[in-house]
Amino acid sequence: MATNSADRLNELLDQFSGADHVLILINADPDSIASAMALERLLWRRVTRINISNINTITRPDNMAMIQLFDVTLIHISKIDVHLYNKIAILDSQPDHNESFKGLVYNVIIDHHEPGACTAPFMDIRPNYGATSSIMTEYLKSAKIKPSERIATALLHGIKTDTSNFERMATNADIRAFQFLFRHANIHLARRIEHVDLRMGFLDYFKKAIEEKVVDDSRIFIHFGNVENPDICVLVGDFFMRVNTVTWSIVSSLYEDRLVIILRNDGLQKDAGKLASRLFGEVGSAGGHKSMARAEIPLENIRGEVENLEPETLRVWVHDKINGVLSK
């Protein structure tokens, strides 16, 4: 893998030709959506066809607003015939991050998370970057492409989201990308998207979380039963981290025969990603950053460890697993 930006760009573009039908696969969130928009721009007029496909169900209001305001066309993977594409790129994820990514042959992998067991003709994985949007901004700059207001705003939002406004995992590369994009972005539009993060139906989850939370020292545990989308766990987890005495916020739920666990902490001498991998990596997919992590566990993988799948049983199982490590 070349280290020079221009050489990296050439290696990326060399993966494609004019006759290619390209599928960009993402687990849709602000960073991945923006990155897909940037790759689509890089390949404009270089390939025959490009489609962006999401593996997840999009219900978070900020994601929905981003898609609507930036006029992004996403096609859910369930409606895609992958055999119609001869080139597949995965952005802001890696094949082992989700079951829906597996079984496909990738030509391009671009990501900012820790590298897993994946291979592709072109891979650009930079775990020292706070956002994949920062990587894609560098590609646009190397290609001497002035990003449209739409793309610049999306990438700016992607960087701000994945670095929590530069409060976590931000590097000089993220700051440089942000400064470059700021000159071309619509700041008013970016703020509008940032402020749209709740739906009326989500308020019931917050009410339940506040009423049923379990506080153990400076840690808060919440378990929902089945949720319409696990993104609600992210919103609730972030919400409780705003409480001044809370150092860990752990929110779990059931979604499509999986136990989803969201971990957040204050970032002080803690590593949520390593904790998630250590506790749940053997029974599901797990990982993340120091202050935020996620685990998704197929229920069939833990049936031997829990008596039943009732909400209280699962909450206690998650609580005991995590507290057993954090209380030492």
Given 2.40.30.10, 3.40.50.2020, 3.50.30.60, 3.90.1640.10, which CATH number is that of 5-194?
3.90.1640.10
Is the confidence at residue 217, as pLDDT, over 70?
yes
Query: How far is the C-alpha of 153 from the C-alpha of 149, rounded, in Å?
Result: 6
Given 3.10.310.40, 3.90.950.10, 1.20.210.10, 3.30.1280.10, which CATH number is that of 203-326?
3.10.310.40
Mean pLDDT for the stretch of residues 152-176: 88
Query: How far is the C-alpha of 149 from the C-alpha of 152, rounded, in Å?
Result: 5
Q: What is the tens place of the pLDDT at every residue in 96-134?
A: 888 889 889 999 999 999 888 889 999 999 999 999 999
Residue 279 pLDDT: 94
Q: Give pTM, 2 decimals.
A: 0.68
DSSP one-letter string for 207-242: HHHHHH-EEETTEEEEEEEE-S-THHHHHHHHHHTT
* Distance, C-alpha 69 to centroid of its chain: 20
Residue 92 region by backbone torsions, left for phi larger than 0, else alpha for psi between -120 and 50, else beta: left
Domain boundaries, the chain: 5-194, 203-326
Q: What is the tens place of the pLDDT at every residue in 4-38?
A: 788 999 999 999 999 999 999 999 999 999 999 99
- Topology match between the domains 5-194 and 203-326: no
Is the confidence at residue 94, as pLDDT, over 70?
yes
Residue 77 pLDDT: 95
Residue 166 pLDDT: 82
Is the confidence at residue 3, as pLDDT, over 70?
no
Q: Which among 201, 223, 239 is positioned nearest to 59, based on CA atoms?
A: 201
